[in-house]
Structure 1
Amino acid sequence: MTAPQTADIDAGKRDLFESLPRGSLILAFILVQLVAFAATYAAGIPTAYAGFVIVSVLGTAYAADEGIFGMTAAVFGSVLLLAIGLPLAMFVARQQPSLVVEQALDPEVHRMLYLSVYGPLIAALVSVIFGVPLALVLSQGFPGQSIVESLVDLPLVVPHSAAGIIVLFGFGEGGVFPQLTLLGTMVGFVLAMVFVSAPFAVNSAREAFEAIDTRVEYASRIHGANRFETFRRVTAPLAARGILTGGVLAWARSVSEFGAVAIVAYSVSFFYPPAGDTVTTQHAPVFIRRAYLSGGLEQSGAVTFILLVFSTITFLIIRWLAYSDTPATGGMP
């Protein structure tokens, strides 16, 4: 076959692939993957699914005429997706529906879910309120900025249990606010999560501010707006996507925090509206660990499944509310 004929075939294949609705292609690919996983799992050979994924991704990249480089990138990327997605799929497939329902009806699980959403939302809000001004200053630059940036990023590398100890030394008895009671309180719970999640809010907002064309802000000042008006009408709206992303990341990081929370507030006492009184329970990661130690893998797995579904739904709702009417300018998508 001559080179022109090969080129014509490749062009025809590419045109055919691109003419199909992208949404339909994605849905069809997902359905095929679900059917393949169900079949291999039912046959007792889930390992075979890994090979199917690589072959199907390779075939899809070839059909899309991505070339050798594109097919190689797709295959390498699918390996990472397998490392993330396959354990999740196996986890869901191995759950016992009766045990999941039993745990879903447990009032103690309800209190855990409430605390594990409500507390992180407060922590995320605090991180955004105080992190955005700092991010704005960092985006403009100043002497010694690298020291401040290192301080902001330090919680990302500090071991989580060490973060809890640091919070207790800083804000507990003998600390900056000795009148605060941290152990087992909502205040200590939120402070521990703010310590580990604030860098996400600051860095995401800073990147959004840095992505704004300074000429737009300059034009606002030329037309008579002061710095606050320029920030309110120009800078903040353009950076809104990055700010919201930082808040969502801070919330997600707080939901998953174990080490710092286990040190500062292993069991948290808080006002629980459905009960109309103060109750005590644990943050989700701590609660799951306790369930694992007392009830074994099956019980902790059921609680984890409930938390996974609940957190995913909450996360999607937050993203939808945050991004549905937000211009995609600046920051992370």
Structure 2
Amino acid sequence: MATETESQFEITAVGRLPLVVLFTLIQLLVFAAAYSIGKPTWYVYFIVGSAATTAYALDGTPFTIATATAGSLLMVVLSLPLFIFLARQTPSLIIEKALDPDVQRVLYLGVYAPLLAALLSLLGGVPLAHLLAKGFPGQPLVESLVDLPLVVPHSVAGIIILFGFGKGGAFPQLSVLGTMVGMVLALAFVSAPYAVNATREAFESIDDRLEYASRIHGANQWETFRRVTGPLAVRGMITGGLLAWARAVSEFGAVAVVAYSVSFFYPFAGTEVTAQHAPVFVYNTYLQGGLEESGAVAFLLLAVSAVIFLIVRYLIDDGTGGGMP
């Protein structure tokens, strides 16, 4: 206990942010040094060793050191490929791709279509999440249907969309194959579980006594939801929408089956254009132009997605330092 108290005192005295910044800078510098001499493997050893050393310095207990060391192994899998990917990019090629009108349309579509899918997921997902949080007969069946897209292979998801909404499906007049509608439906199919589950957790975290107090003061169910339940769960709704959007941005299989190329109105040109979803375009660029060209396009997509993700996180931060759940 003394060690933990002393460590907490030391962290408070120095400040968490400076420690995080210092740790990050050291990681970047060591990676740059290891990469520059052609020994990225050395950085792997450094990640594991620095995690164990930091855990020892901040806590000192064998359990914390062991968990930090084990956790650093996953960080190797997550961070090392990303660092090497960034280090191997050619700035001139990135600029060339950024100025390419075809790439610009792809990036726009790669943000716009997932946004529509996320909004569609929230439109039906918020009411469904509220019902799931309250409970009803047959709920396990509905929960299974909601979570099913998480385990369905992505190409199979595309086939399911074509059977359900394509020719001979539920809406024969609806054009799905190769259209923006089909792309949004495919993206919503694979991303909706994230919107529903995150929103449901937000509803479940609300104290029932707050809703009860609203009802006994004369508010009906609509007013209670609008003034109490909804505002308290809005953070979870935004989180769910953001997760659904992020999942839709990365979708490949379902889109490749349903809407390989789509036509849509491009506001920057003031006319209708044809483009592919960003992951599909990156894959085609890899087949035709190789790893370097596809890497430049992937870098641009990663940068745009990261900027939007960070902006949304910042906007929904309540100032308590918790960020998104």
The two structures have a TM-score, normalised by structure 1, of: 0.93
The superposition leaves residues 209-264 of structure 1 with CA deviations (integer Å, 9 ceiling, x where unpaired) of 11111111101101110001111111111111111110000000100000110001
The superposition leaves residues 62-118 of structure 1 with CA deviations (integer Å, 9 ceiling, x where unpaired) of 111241101111111111111100000000001112211111111000000000101
2:238 is the counterpart of 1:239 = no
Aligned partner of 1:19 among 13, 29, 47: 13
The superposition leaves residues 275-294 of structure 1 with CA deviations (integer Å, 9 ceiling, x where unpaired) of 11110010011000110111
1:315-330 equivalence runs, <5 A: 315-321=309-315, 323-325=316-318
Deviation at 1:324, TM superposition (A): 3.3
User: Match of 1:90?
Assistant: 84
2:114 is the counterpart of 1:120 = yes
- Counterpart of 1:182 in structure 2: which amino acid? V
1:262-281 equivalence runs, <5 A: 262-281=256-275
Deviation at 1:17, TM superposition (A): 4.3
Structure 1 gap segments, 5+ residues each: 1-6
- Counterpart of 2:102 in structure 1: which amino acid? E
- Counterpart of 1:146 in structure 2: which amino acid? P
Matched-pair contact (CA < 8 Å) for 1:172–1:181: yes
Shift of the 318–17 alpha-carbon distance from structure 1 to 2, 3 Å rule, reads closer
- Counterpart of 2:289 in structure 1: which amino acid? G
Structure with the greater alpha carbon radius of gyration: 1
1:229-308 equivalence runs, <5 A: 229-308=223-302
User: Match of 1:221?
Assistant: 215
User: Match of 1:153?
Assistant: 147
Deviation at 1:208, TM superposition (A): 1.0
Deviation at 1:29, TM superposition (A): 0.5
Shift of the 11–332 alpha-carbon distance from structure 1 to 2, 3 Å rule, reads closer
Aligned partner of 2:159 among 159, 165, 170: 165
* SS of structure 1 residue aligned to 2:39: coil
Q: How far, CA to CA, are the matches of 1:213 and 1:188 in structure 2?
A: 40
Q: How far, CA to CA, are the matches of 1:220 and 1:36 in structure 2?
A: 57
Deviation at 1:49, TM superposition (A): 0.4
Identity %: 62
2:177 is the counterpart of 1:183 = yes
Shift of the 120–327 alpha-carbon distance from structure 1 to 2, 3 Å rule, reads farther
The two structures have a TM-score, normalised by structure 2, of: 0.96
Instruction: Give 4+ residue runs of structure 1 displaced > 4 Å after superposition.
Output: 7-14, 325-329
Deviation at 1:315, TM superposition (A): 1.2
1:28-39 equivalence runs, <5 A: 28-39=22-33
Shift of the 94–215 alpha-carbon distance from structure 1 to 2, 3 Å rule, reads same
Shift of the 10–157 alpha-carbon distance from structure 1 to 2, 3 Å rule, reads closer
Q: How far, CA to CA, are the matches of 1:136 and 1:326 in structure 2?
A: 26
